[in-house]
Amino acid sequence: MAIVTSAGPRAETAALSRAPDRSRWAAGARTLFGNPVTIVAAVFLLLVVLAAVFAPVIARHDPTFLDPGVRLQGPSAEFPMGTDDRGRDIFSRVIYGGRVSLAIGVGVTLAAAAIGSVLGLLSGYFPRLDTPIMRTLDGLMAFPSILLAIAIMASLGPSATNVFLALTVVYTPTVARLVRSTTLVTRQQPFVESARSIGMTDAGILLRYVYPNGLSPLIVQCTFVVAFAIISEASLSFLGAGVDPETPTWGNMLRDGQRVLQVAWWLALFPGIALVLTVLTLNVLGDALRDALDPRGRGR
């Protein structure tokens, strides 16, 4: 009986400590999936990702194959989205263009999140590093993002790798400032002071306590960085400063379509719709994640 009595309070305490976490996750899940618009956006984005992954299976024509005999044909059963001025299938190029745009968007986000997290943690936790790191990042943020990306691309040359590097430089300061702000708040918390008082190293405190407490806003910010990176890649390609002009991307297709817009509207319409809807769904999911991860926003 003594064993049962002593174990009972501990079990009840553990259950009570897990209850808030479960209720918090449940409330976040209800907020995230309770809105039909969010569900539609998630399904559409999933379809875009699947289409990009399985592009060789879905596309019936080579996106780079030139067939002058079918140039500037409108949408039909053979070419659902028509053909361009060189006889290339627009449907295949839109699908393969999604591959490039999503790959660059996700890759830039992961790289910017990794580098920006390190810089933000160092700047926010160590006061001596704050000034040199943040003044350097402020210098980068002083330039408009698209102009900075164009300047970097003008120095490196057009290629997918250089677009990735340029956009990583552009969006790293945004992530770093966010991580720095959460680090400045978290490092003053009592549990961080307790960890420091028992001799835990700075690296252990940063990885175990400081960084995890700033993951929620970082995840939300990353969804918007993906959308911004996709738009920036399309903008660079549209201006001729992005990837190789022969590579099927949404920006390249918009640039090619605007030259013959009056006689072949489908060249710019379908890649434009794909770009707008993809970015829109990412923004919708970002807003939904923000509401789900922020307890203060659930009641609104």
* pLDDT tens sequence across 92-151: 999 999 998 999 999 999 999 999 999 999 999 998 999 999 999 999 898 888 899 999
Q: Which two tokens stand for residue 165?
A: 């590097």
pLDDT score at 3 = 44
Q: Which residue has the tokens 């160590």?
A: 126
255 pLDDT more than 60: yes
The dihedral built from the CA positions of residue 7, 9, 12 and 18, taken in this order, carries a sign that is: negative
218 pLDDT more than 80: yes
277 pLDDT more than 80: yes
Task: Say whether 212 sits in a helix, a strand or coil.
Answer: helix
Task: Say whether 199 sits in a helix, a strand or coil.
Answer: coil
What mean pLDDT do residues 205-226 have? 89
What mean pLDDT do residues 66-73 have? 85
Dist. CA 150–CA 135, nearest whole Å: 22
With the CA atoms of 258, 259, 264 and 265 taken in that order, what torsion angle do they form, in degrees rounded to the nearest 10?
20
What mean pLDDT do residues 50-66 have? 89
Name the DSSP letter for residue 240. T
What is the rounded end-to-end Cα distance, in angstroms, of the chain?
Answer: 49
pLDDT confidence tier of residue 27, bands split at 50, 70 and 90: low
pLDDT score at 11 = 44
Q: Which of 21-25, 91-95, 119-123, 262-266 has the lowest mean pLDDT?
A: 21-25
Dist. CA 57–CA 61, nearest whole Å: 10
297 pLDDT more than 80: no
What is the tens place of the pLDDT at every residue in 137-187?
999 898 888 899 999 998 888 888 999 999 999 999 999 999 999 999 888
Domain residue limits, the chain: 39-51+91-297
Each as own residue / partner, the long-range contacts of residues 131-139 (CB below 8 Å, 24 or more positions apart, any chain) are 133/176, 134/176, 134/177, 134/180, 137/172, 137/173, 137/176, 137/177, 138/173
pLDDT score at 12 = 44
**Which ranges of the chain would DSSP assign to H, the alpha helix?**
2-33, 36-53, 55-58, 90-125, 127-141, 145-156, 160-186, 190-197, 202-205, 211-213, 215-238, 250-259, 266-293
Q: Which fold has domain 39-51+91-297?
A: MetI-like fold (1.10.3720)
Query: For the whole model, what pTM was predicted?
Result: 0.83
Look at residues 124, 123, 115, 216 and name the one whose alpha carbon lies nearest to residue 167: 115
Task: Say whether 83 sits in a helix, a strand or coil.
Answer: strand
299 pLDDT more than 90: no
The whole-chain average pLDDT of the chain stands at: 84
In 10 A of CB 51, how many CB atoms? 19
In 10 A of CB 278, how many CB atoms? 24
pLDDT score at 16 = 37
pLDDT score at 294 = 65
